[in-house]
A and B are shown apart, each in its own frame.
Chain A
Amino acid sequence: MAFEGLADRLQSTMKKIKGKGKVSEQDVKEMTREVRLALLEADVNFKVVKDLIKRIKERAVGQEVMESLTPGQQVIKVVKEELTELMGGEQSKIAVADRSPTVIMMVGLQGAGKTTTTGKLANHLRKQHNRSPLLAACDVYRPAAIEQLETLGQQLDMPVFSKGTEANPVDIASEAVQQAKADHNDYVIIDTAGRLHVDTDLMDELQQVKSSVKPDEIFLVVDAMTGQDAVNVAESFNEQLDLSGVVLTKLDGDTRGGAALSIKAVTDKPIKFAGTGEKLDGFEAFHPERMASRILGMGDVLSLIEKAQTNVDEKQAKELEQKMRTASFTFDDFLEQMGQVKEMGPLEDLMGMIPGASKMKGLKNAQIDEKQLVYVEAIIQSMTKKERQEPSIMNASRKKRIAKGSGTSVSQVNRLLKQFDEMKKMMKQMTGAQKGKKGKGMKFPFM
């Protein structure tokens, strides 16, 4: 794949810098170039990238990065902070009109997912806010668009207002609002036809719908896979309709979704929701911070570091490191380390935060079985002190006893012993290699 995360991209540049005592301006230039390419590969608009790079450069050339011991990590941190700031905080509130019904208008290009999102939003309003929406079918152009909304209405058991394909969208919208008043629906979601932002006639039509029903929210629905053109689309829809928010669809794909950043930058309107699946409940609040990580293709490595920092006692870590080097790592240490990892939260969450882990084939859908950890713990706790220190004394009768004590089988005990042995060998190799290189040793196998 042509896509690499920012972390990967920065690695080679960082290698060069690592040996140096001081980071030169040329180094910073190289780093920012990598940052720039990473953002562009993620489809962030080039103008937005330019502004960002300018700010990042300022901060990077300043004290912040230069004086830090790990300039690479520091650059990533600065970049992520800038991205997160640009994206703004989480905002998934939906307006409530003083007088019912609240009217929401859905607009966007063809194929962005307006109709599906209309259904998902209606479902969300009912489930999360206990509302009863009416759906209005104003897409009279695309064949079977009305049928699509009607089918969604059936699936959701919600009313759909339609007048066929001959009616005028402006009339349909205003009559739908009347209907909602009569039927005591507290929300009306208007599904409009997809249109190009440069199609003057159809954009006029949207303005007419807007002035006729005076919507409380106008959501631009945007495909997360949109490229550089996202700015043009968002800018002109916003200019002509004054949007109140954005819904980003198809986020369950493997796109980096740099469009999100572009849209936010040019419209300054919040991205409120994200479409994340084929089904009607694939709809959630938009998380700007997660998006920032995704655009950088780095997993949530920072929160992982933060988590590790708060949960791992530095002194203990040093001791452990020493033990690994001298290969005097015992089952007691193993137990302790496991405890620390567990404190950091569910393992699955942790895996998701490791950059690249999502790409590894076996790991992608791997359900990490936390129960296994309970067994491991039980087995170790059933060992005597001596056995924990010197696993080599293990024999058949000891294994039988341990299996009995931990409620497991001898084969499970054997497996653990074997894994432990392999782990130790690996540690030896890793620490050995580190010694040869010079520089700081490794801290944890999982970091």
Chain B
Amino acid sequence: MSFMEKLKNKFKQNEETEEVSAKYKEGMEKTRNSFSGKINDLIARYRKVDEDFFEELEEVLISADVGVMTVMDLVEGLKMEVKRQNIKDTKEVKDVISEKLVEIYYGDDDEQIEELRIEEDQLSVILVVGVNGVGKTTSIGKLAHKLKQDGKNVVLAAGDTFRAGAIEQLDVWGERANVDVIKQSAGSDPAAVIFDGINAAKSRNADVLICDTAGRLQNKVNLMNELSKVKRVIEREVPGAPHEVLLVLDGTTGQNAMSQAKTFSDATDVTGIVLTKLDGTAKGGIVLAIRNELNIPVKYVGLGEKVEDLQEFNAHAFVYGLFADLLEENPE
């Protein structure tokens, strides 16, 4: 069975996956069209696999915000593969390209859907971090809704005491998801708010506490130190916490996302990524680069404005959404 068929069959197996992949397909339509469209374009224009072809392929991948280093590695690998299999026709190289791309996604830990780590019979704390404007508060609102639907008792802590209106924004999401929001006034110490949140969550016997934090650019040393302090407070108050440190990344961000992932990891040991705003034309290729270079898994993707548009990251579905054109054109 060819690689493409395998991937395809994965989605024909049951209705549920069918539904998930449809959602990805729909959400990422813009992404997919331009991305695989470009690859098809490229293949149509070049009959022969030569240096120019590879150069242009590099560009296609880079235009999807895949990190430059990752692209270089990938193209190197492709060149080897093409030589090894003695491929001359660009049509044949298509399969190899997709295969390599998928390989980067999965790495060694094959077939793994990254689940959120939530403890049974104990308070689980999720710390949410990221730069300004990536959608932290919105993602928290959606995540709270999701966990609540799963029957969890959720509490939110309004740790963004800096940005005007941030507390109110979380409050609205708390109302929508019907969960409690622990807050202090604007300008108060975020670590103190989180401390309060932990105590409130404990006394309410909550299952999950989600901590919002103010957006901060990763090169602001003082603000990053503040974040480490917040994490230390959580560590001290709840054994084994934080169970998840989610870094929210804006899907439209370019190469700087790598710097964000690195620096936030240094400060807070990021355990997973929430990739937002994938419903535009942004390619989200940065996921490839981050998995490849930093090995941080993506746990959720934001595919729209609605509450239910926060989807658990499913690498198969994501790849399927990205390469659906390629797959469908390859009936064999």
Contact = CB atoms under 8 A, between A and B. Distances in A.
Interface string A208-240: 000000000000000101111110110000000
Nearest to B258: A2
A110 B136 CA distance: 12
Contact of A226 (B253, B262, B279): B253
A144 B281 contact: no
A258 B254 contact: yes
A198 B133 contact: no
Contacts of B165: 115, 144-151
Contacts of B69: 2
A246 to B, nearest CB: 15
Contacts of B131: 225, 250, 253
Contact of A255 (B168, B171, B256): B256
B80 interface: no
A41 B258 CA distance: 11
Interface in B285-314: 286, 293
Contacts of A226: 252-254
B162 A43 contact: no
Interface in A52-109: 109
A155 B64 contact: no
Q: Which of A1, A42, A110, A233 has the most CB of B within 10 A?
A: A110
B259 A254 contact: yes
Contact of A229 (B138, B176, B219, B252): B252
A143 B169 contact: yes
A176 interface: no
Contact of B135 (A37, A45, A111): A111
A18 interface: no
B62 interface: yes
Interface in A164-193: none
Interface string B152-167: 0000000000111111
Contacts of A149: 164-165
A143 B277 CA distance: 17
Interface in A1-21: 1-3
A317 interface: no
Interface in B131-150: 131-135, 138, 141
B280 A225 contact: no
A335 interface: no
Contacts of A264: none
A112 interface: yes
Interface size, A (range)? 35 or more
A252 interface: yes
B65 interface: yes
Given A40-B62, A228-B63, A111 B254 contact: no
Contacts of A115: 164-165
Contacts of B258: 2
B218 interface: yes
Interface in B184-233: 186, 217-220
A225 B253 contact: yes
Contacts of B23: none
Nearest to B173: A143
B282 interface: yes
A198 B256 contact: no
Contact of A110 (B63, B135, B176, B220): B135
A111 B63 contact: no
A255 B260 CA distance: 10
Q: Is the interface of A mostly helix, strand, loop or mixed?
A: loop
A2 B256 contact: no
A298 interface: no
Contacts of A258: 254
A254 B253 contact: no
Contact of A155 (B68, B164, B262, B281): B164
Q: Which of B167, B171, B172, B255 has the most CB of A within 10 A?
A: B255
Contacts of B242: none
Q: Which of B64, B65, B165 has the most CB of A within 10 A?
A: B165
A148 B169 contact: yes
B217 A250 contact: yes
A287 interface: no
A116 B132 CA distance: 11
A256 to B, nearest CB: 7
A198 B252 contact: no
A46 interface: yes
Contacts of A225: 131, 250, 253-254, 256-257
Contact of B255 (A41, A109, A230): A41
Nearest to B133: A111
B254 A259 contact: yes
A294 interface: no
A146 B163 CA distance: 13
B255 A256 contact: yes
A43 B132 CA distance: 19
B163 A196 contact: no
B67 A2 contact: yes
A140 to B, nearest CB: 13
Interface string B44-80: 0000000000000001001111011100000000000
A197 interface: yes
Nearest to B216: A278
Nearest to B262: A1
Nearest to A113: B133
A171 B172 CA distance: 24
A142 interface: yes
A402 interface: no
Contact of A253 (B186, B217, B286): B217
Given A2-B67, A259-B254, A112 B217 contact: no
B30 interface: yes
A17 to B, nearest CB: 21
Contact of A111 (B30, B67, B171, B250): B250
B316 interface: no
Nearest to A50: B59
17 contacts: A43-B256, A110-B135, A143-B176, A144-B172, A146-B165, A147-B164, A147-B165, A148-B165, A148-B166, A155-B164, A225-B254, A227-B254, A229-B280, A253-B131, A254-B256, A254-B259, A278-B162
Given A40-B68, A148-B166, A253-B256, 11 more contacts: A110-B133, A113-B132, A113-B133, A143-B171, A225-B257, A227-B253, A228-B283, A229-B252, A233-B252, A250-B217, A255-B256
Interface of A: 1-3, 37, 40-43, 45-46, 50, 109-113, 115-116, 142-152, 155, 196-198, 223, 225-230, 232-233, 250, 252-256, 258-259, 278
Q: Which 7 A-B pairs have the closest CB atoms?
A: A227-B254, A148-B165, A111-B133, A143-B172, A43-B254, A151-B164, A144-B169
